[in-house]
Structures are given as structure tokens and as C-alpha cells.
A and B are shown apart, each in its own frame.
Chain A
Amino acid sequence: MATTHTLLSPAELNYLHTSLSLRPPIRSDGRLPTQFRPLTAETGILQGTNGSACVTFSDGAEAIVGVKAEIEKTPDAQQSGDADEKKARGDWVEISVEIPSQRDDDAATVFLGEMLREALLGDGEFAKKLWINRRFHWRLHIDILLLSPPLSYPLPLLSLTTHLALLATRLPKLKSEGDEDPMFDDDWESSVFVYPREGASEGTRPPITLLVVTVGDNVIFDPTKEELAVAETALAVSVAEVRRERPRGGMEVDSKGRELKLLSIRTIDPPSRLTPPGVPNGTATTATEGKPAPSNLSSETPVAGVWKAPLGGTKFTVVDGIIQAVLEKGGVADEVLDGLDGVELA
């Protein structure tokens, strides 16, 4: 788990848990269950990269992503087969995640990187964009840097920043043809976006990964560190928007109809399992009076108002409810993508 241990007492944990299990839940920062923290986003901040972005959350968490591309020879040039068939490999994309105060080979950091990677390469379309010809391809380095100390689980922040950086990524325009050594237009103004902009764009857009937790029966998006500390289930769900070519150009009737595609789901170990349990009133006194300690079984039964770390797994219906909430038309994913669409791409 990327977050450090929360310093909350069992009583505080129980208070948080109770208020979040109400219907509707009451969050400590007053947000709605589906509301994201406000964020500031900027693209094109790094001159030396092909694409870059910086996102700052209102709580001070800040991340920078730089995308650099280089040409590489495809080692096993396909001799046979027609030139139209683009064979691409997932390892043309390299993702490195750096989180302050954590080693870069830490299991949690690797887990974050792999999660972002599998969402990006999920449908196999992205690697095909890096194909130049049968002998050469682009190698893309995506370097993700968290600038602030990890205040909450940084996954949504890193994912949104990567999404923006990829939208802003441009590659030089190819001038050569066929299987020649590639030659590029040296005018940066004529470079092409990896993800084509509005208009004749078809295909998948870069993914976003949302962190969703459940407390009681409530599904809560974008949890803070404290909310994560009492969560019973935490899922990271990656979705991407699919744009289809519309037969008639200017007749956008249902502009709200965004088609979302599920790319990956991962369970995240909620830190609530590591929280200290509360001690019910009765047991503390019996111990001091020297009576026989209560049996193990009685300590297993939950007492109302006393915090106990959740045990066991998640019911299938709960998992299903989370995925439904993410994929819902006009839901959170739509809202986040709408917000990110407003960011000007430099």
C-alpha cells in the first residue's frame, strides 16, 4: 500500500465509518459520494518532451508526467506478410513511477506502474500508434513523478496526469514512405498528435483509472486518506472513451452519449485491514480485575460503536455495483472526462 499508516484512533475510525455508512453518506470534507476533489491541470509545461502535463489537487497533491519518444529498430523485422499488418508489442511503452520517500522497486510502486500500463495497453490499439514501418517503431517513455509526499493513494492523480500528457503528446510528421529509414518533417508545427484531436478522431482515447471504495452499502469515489482507512473494499477501475465515426458530420444530437470501455479492474488492499481494533468497554475492566480473559470467539463478534478492522472479502454484488457506478451513463467517469476535455492542449 502506497499510503503510510493513518494515525487515527479506533474511536475516530468508528466515527468516520459510521458517518460514511449513512444514507446518503456524510464525508468529512462535505463532498457528494460521486464528487471529485477540485483540480488544476496544465499541459505542455516541459519543453524537452513530446508531451507533458501537470495536475494539482486541492489538497496539495501534485504530479508531473513527461512523455518522451525515440526511434528504435524493430529487432525481428517481419519479412513475410503484407505491409498493412501492423504488428506491435506492448514493451514499446515504458512507464516509470517515482514517488518521494519510496524506493522505485517497492512493490506498491511497481503495482501502480503496472496498473497504469495495463490500462494503457489494454485494447492493443495504443501500441499500434507507435508503429512507423516494418523496420522501425517509436519507443515511448512515460515518466510519472509525484511531486508532493503521498497524501492519499496517488492512483487517480497519476492516472489523470498521464491521460492529459498522452493527449498532449505529439510526434514529428513522417515524410518517408514504406520501409525506408524514417525521415521526419523538422517543423514542430506540423507534428501530429498521437491521439488525434476533435473532428475525424476515431478509436480509443487514453484511459483514466478511478479509485472507488465501499463503506457499508455506499459507493464512494476519489477517497481521501481518512476515507480509505475505513473502506471495506477498494477497487481501481480503468475505463477509456471510445469514439466512433459518426456518419453525419455536424449533426451532433446526443453529445452526452459517451461510450465507455472497461479496460481493467484491480483490487487494492485497503489500509483499513491494518488499523488497530477498538476494545469494548467490558473487556478492559475484566482484564484489570484479574478475571479469566474472554474467549477468542467473543472478541470476534462485532460490538456496535467499537471499531473492528474488516475481515474477509467482498460480495460479488458489491463489486458489480461499483462497476455499474463507474460505467453509468453520465456518471463520474463522464464528469471527469468532461472536465479534462476542458483543458487546453498546448
Chain B
Amino acid sequence: MADRRRINGPGGTTLPPLYDDDPLPLPTRLRLPNAVRSVYLKTGVTPSASGSAYLEVESRNGAPTTGMKLSCTVHGPRSLPRSAPFSPHMVLTTHVKYAPFATKSRRGYLRDASERDLSTHLETALRGVLIADRWPKSGVDVVVTIIEGEEARQFAVDQGSEEWDMMNVLSACITVAAAAVADAGIDCVDTVSGGVAALVSLSDDGKSEIVLDPVATEHEEILAACCVAYLPNRDEITNLWLKGEVSSTDPGLYRNLIARAVYASKGTSQAIVGSLNEAVTGV
């Protein structure tokens, strides 16, 4: 008797679909090296949460995919469960999760290593900003969902590009979380914003240059990248993540890289200020 309770595969043999090679040419960077992509940021999109924000990054020129989309909700501050030990500060928990359909390869419902890694970075970036001792015995949950990641089709299988993509994702996570925390009315010393800069090798000669807001697929090779969470008014960095091969012959190179990432984050902080102003005057 046929098993009608489950969805079974076809009875006969099937052939997996074969697609033609992607006809799209390799994307190249049309922006200037010091230009960042514009973003759309809106706060207060989730009524049930105490604070929320939505961020959309401009898509690449002529790309079939749209840019990255993230949403962040902040729940709390609320009292800790009775079983939790006493805490003199607000307890911050961060979750970063890709939606299962966010990237070309499907993400499971359980958080994988890279998502956990991102949430630790985000926690470090936010913890320095919150004035946590004003809320003893309470907890705040910051949940960031990446609705759509940026990953071009032909490079989805290429592991190399995905690793560098993490930096962009983290920078966007920091920006959207900062806006959502401000929307929730939690006291902060400043609004934090994320910025990325990368050292890329130029294809024609062996030279390299520093670009802001890099897209991994637009460059031949990324040598090193740096992501910062920056407080513009206090001129301080709460989270710094740099990786890659920084040549030791030029000691000023890493310094330059961090400085450029800070410069990129100043651009995104204007977006936060703009959207928060809009939220205040719009009411």
C-alpha cells in the first residue's frame, strides 16, 4: 500500500537539472575606492518589539540580486527569570541568524559556527555602548535576522568570497542593532556604527589599494579586511576585527586600514542619525 502520509520522491529515475553557465560577466567595482554604498534604514518596523530597525543596502550595479536586507528586534529591558542569578547590570544576549533562504546555499534553522561567531562580535560591539548599570536584574535580547544576504550567483560556491562577506554582514548587523537599541530607548553613551575597509590587489600590477565597503566578488583578490564598530562622538572603537595578510614591510598599512574602516563607519552613522531624526519628527 502506498505511503500517503509522507511526501515521497518520484518512483522512476530522474535527472538533476543542468543549468548553463552563468552568462553574466564578472562584476567590477564602479564606485570610487572611498565611496560606500548607500543604505536605507528605518526604525520601529516591528510593533510587538520594544525597539526594531530594518536596513537595506544598495545593490551592486547591474547585479541580478538585490542588496543585503536585515531586520533587528530588541526585546526588553525586562526582568530576568526568577531562576537567573543576580546581576548588577543589564544582561545582553545577541542572536544573529541568516534566514534559511538568505543565501544561495540553504542555511539550517540551527545557528552554525559563523552565525555564533557573528553574534559574539555583535555582543562585544554593543556591550561597550550600553550604560548597563542603569538596569540591574534585567535582560535585553537583540535579535538580528539577515533576510537576504549579498552573494552573487557564480561565487556562491566559492568559499573565499563568503569569508570576506562576513565582515560586511557584521558591519550591517552593528548598524541595524544600534538603530534598534536607540529605538527601544535604552541608554547608550553614543550610537555605534559599523564600517569595513579592505586591502585589495589591483589586477594589472602587483600593487594594492585600500577600498571602503568592499564587495568580495567585485575584486580579484582581497588581501586583508577590517571591520570596526565606532562611536563617532566619543571617537572610540568598541569592536575591531581585522584579518588577512597585512604586509610587515609597511608598518603603517594596518593603521591605514583601521583608519579607513573608521572613515567608512562615519558614513553609516549619518544614516542612523537621519533615520532616528525622521522617527522623532514623524510622530
Contact = CB atoms under 8 A, between A and B. Distances in A.
Nearest to A264: B243
Size band of the interface chain A makes with B = 35 or more
Contact of B258 (A110, A242, A277, A316): A316
Contact of B254 (A260, A262, A277, A296): A262
Interface stretch (A223-231, A286-294, A307-315): A307-315
B92 to A, nearest CB: 10
Given A268-B124, A276-B88, A319-B258, A263 B248 contact: no
A262 to B, nearest CB: 5
Contacts of B236: 312-315
Chain B interface bracket (under 10, 10 to 19, 20 to 34, 35 or more): 35 or more
Interface stretch (B58-66, B115-123, B269-277): B115-123
Contacts of B119: 107
Main secondary structure of the interface of A (DSSP, over half): mixed
Interface string B90-130: 00000000000000000000000110110111011001110
Interface in A254-296: 259-269, 273-274, 276-277, 296
Q: Which of A105, A123, A268, A319 has most B Cβ within 10 Å? A: A319
B187 to A, nearest CB: 9
Given A262-B254, A264-B243, A316 B237 contact: yes
Given A111-B120, A122-B243, A311-B131, A267 B238 contact: yes
Contacts of A277: 88, 133
A300 B133 CA distance: 10
A276 B137 CA distance: 12
Contacts of B255: 320, 323
Given A107-B120, A260-B248, A266 B240 contact: yes
B155 to A, nearest CB: 14
A98 interface: no
B160 to A, nearest CB: 8
Contacts of A91: 159
A327 B253 CA distance: 13
A277 B258 CA distance: 32
A236 B11 CA distance: 56
Nearest to B88: A276
A90 B259 contact: no
A113 interface: yes
B251 interface: yes
16 contacts: A111-B117, A114-B117, A123-B244, A262-B246, A265-B240, A265-B241, A265-B243, A269-B120, A269-B127, A296-B134, A312-B129, A312-B234, A313-B229, A313-B230, A315-B236, A327-B248
Interface of B: 87-89, 113-114, 116-117, 119-121, 123-124, 127-129, 131-134, 159-160, 163, 189-190, 229-231, 234-248, 251, 254-255, 258-259, 262
